[in-house]
Amino acid sequence: MMSEHSQPTRHEPPSRRDFLKTSTVAVVGGGLIGGLGLARSAHAAGDDTIKIGLIGCGGRGSGAVKDAMRTQHNIKLVAMGDAFQNRLDGSLGEIYNELKGQGKSDRLDVPKERQFVGFDAYKNVLAAGVDLVILATPPGFRPIHFAAAVEAGKHVFMEKPVAVDAPGVRAVLAAAGVAKQKGLGVGVGLQRRHEAKYLETIKRLQDGAIGDILYTRVYWNGAGVWVNPRKEGETDMQYQMRNWYYFNWLCGDHIVEQHIHNLDVVNWLKNAYPVRAEGMGGRQVRTGKEYGEIYDHHAVEFEYADGSRMFSYCRHIPNCWESVSEHAHGSKGTSDISDARIEIAGGDRWRFRGDSPNPYVVEHHDLLSSIRSGSPINEGKYGALSSMTSIFGRMATYSGKMLTWDEAINSQINLAPKQYAWDAEPPVPVVAIPGHTQVV
């Protein structure tokens, strides 16, 4: 198996550039339509254990497995894959310790022969007899891994965002359509849609609790995330992969990787997606080469077809005002959606006071329950379109232009490297300059 400093495998998977050129044809043709019986017949007789494979063994991947294990469903982790050996080893140990502490160590069955390392590890996990895969690599890989999982007839839970550019979004939408035809379950890690307080608040707002929604405000303002120092002898590909958050082909910028949660809440509330966007942003404090090309602040005004606006703000700058929240303003009152509060003009108030179980666990419970029921949920479409909303915002801030949704989602610019290999050249980070950078 390949360690993070091993020579690359001689048979690399196709680049995402090549994949995105052919994905639409592949999924709407005959290539992915076969194998409809798998999802319908799984667990129909004998052992009802759902066998899970993990692709992407970082913190979120390990967390997703542990969240799934906290459900009451009979599941077992049987295969794992990651680009780096140390990531896989660390994840395996972390999951083992968690399950051992709960007396559930029998839910872990990942011998050496089902531990896979390298860029093609996902193929090996999919071929390891799993029923469901958790996709938790950096999001730039999501379109390739999702399409491969659907082609292999696997149920999928994939972390958000599901793409970093418009070609990737289009590929995910196409594969999500095939998953629906195959009867495959697709969960997306936008856990607020499974959180009791959000569900009740959004329902009340959609039922007219504050009248017509005039505008919304959303925030993901915080101090920022980690940087892994460069190791001696590390290639550019290895360095970027270990610091994936700062390179757009891997992350999409923090407006895409994090702020998607807040943007998705408003799309959910409106049951719609923005038609226009304009904004501004830049790099005020994260200016070093170690921060790749992403901005440290974005501010975007999104417009919906009904004329309402969403004002979007996200920032990664220490010692500033912090907030991760969503707010709605209507003709009759206001709502702090994230705090599950509604205030009506004239003094009436409502606040959610019920139980709100851990949504990170509930989202796995809901997906697993739907699979067992024979009517799997498919969250691929809204996962892709909310990812596109985030990408749309990045396009607006990077370009400094007023853009339309159609311009953005039909963009042919993709961010992928030409080849996935440790000695291949990753994309050179270029900081966007509003007024000059082309995004469509």
Structure tokens at 97: 């310790």
Structure tokens at 3: 């360690």
Task: Using DSSP bridges, classify how beta strands 333-336 and 341-344 pair: parallel, antiparallel or unpaired.
Answer: antiparallel
Element (H, E) at 391: helix 380-399
Beta strands in 263-359 (DSSP E): 276-282, 297-303, 309-316, 323-330, 333-336, 341-344, 349-351
pTM: 0.92
Of 76, 74, 34, whose CA–CA distance to 53 is shortest? 76
Task: Using DSSP bridges, classify how beta strands 309-316 and 213-222 pair: parallel, antiparallel or unpaired.
Answer: parallel
Q: Which phi and psi angles does 58 have, rounded to 5°? A: -75, -165
Print pLDDT tens along the chain (440 aa).
333 333 333 334 556 666 555 554 444 333 333 333 334 444 444 579 999 999 999 999 999 999 999 999 999 999 999 999 999 999 999 999 999 999 999 999 999 999 999 999 999 999 999 999 999 999 999 999 999 999 999 999 999 999 999 999 999 999 999 999 999 999 999 999 999 999 999 999 999 999 999 999 999 999 999 999 999 999 999 999 999 999 999 999 999 999 999 999 999 999 999 999 999 999 999 999 999 999 999 999 999 999 999 999 999 999 999 999 999 999 999 999 999 999 998 889 999 999 999 999 999 999 999 999 999 999 999 999 999 999 999 999 999 999 999 999 999 999 999 999 999 999 999 999 999 999 99
DSSP 74: -
Structure tokens at 162: 């599901």
**pLDDT of the residue at 377:** 98
pLDDT digits (tens, 9 = 90+) for 404-419: 999 999 999 999 999 9
Strand, coil or helix: 275: coil
What are the structural domains, with CATH classification, of the chain?
Answer: 16-192+362-378 (3.40.50.720), 213-330+388-409 (3.30.360.10)
147's CB contacts (< 8 A; 6+ apart) are 19, 23, 26, 27, 32, 171, 172, 174, 175
Distance between CA atoms of residues 427 and 347, nearest Å:
55
Asked if residue 155 lies in contact with residue 132, where contact means CB atoms within 8 angstroms, the answer is yes
**pLDDT of the residue at 9:** 35
Strand, coil or helix: 13: coil
Strand, coil or helix: 49: coil
Asked if residue 242 lies in contact with residue 228, where contact means CB atoms within 8 angstroms, the answer is yes
Q: Beta-carbon neighbour count of residue 319 at 10 Å?
A: 7
Q: Beta-carbon neighbour count of residue 126 at 10 Å?
A: 22
Distance between CA atoms of residues 394 and 23, nearest Å:
24
Asked if residue 376 lies in contact with residue 289, where contact means CB atoms within 8 angstroms, the answer is no
102's CB contacts (< 8 A; 6+ apart) are 69
| Sheet strands side by side (includes 186-188) | 115-117, 75-82, 50-55, 132-135, 155-158, 186-188
DSSP 429: P
34's CB contacts (< 8 A; 6+ apart) are none
For helices 16-28 and 166-182, the axis angle rounded to 10 degrees is 40
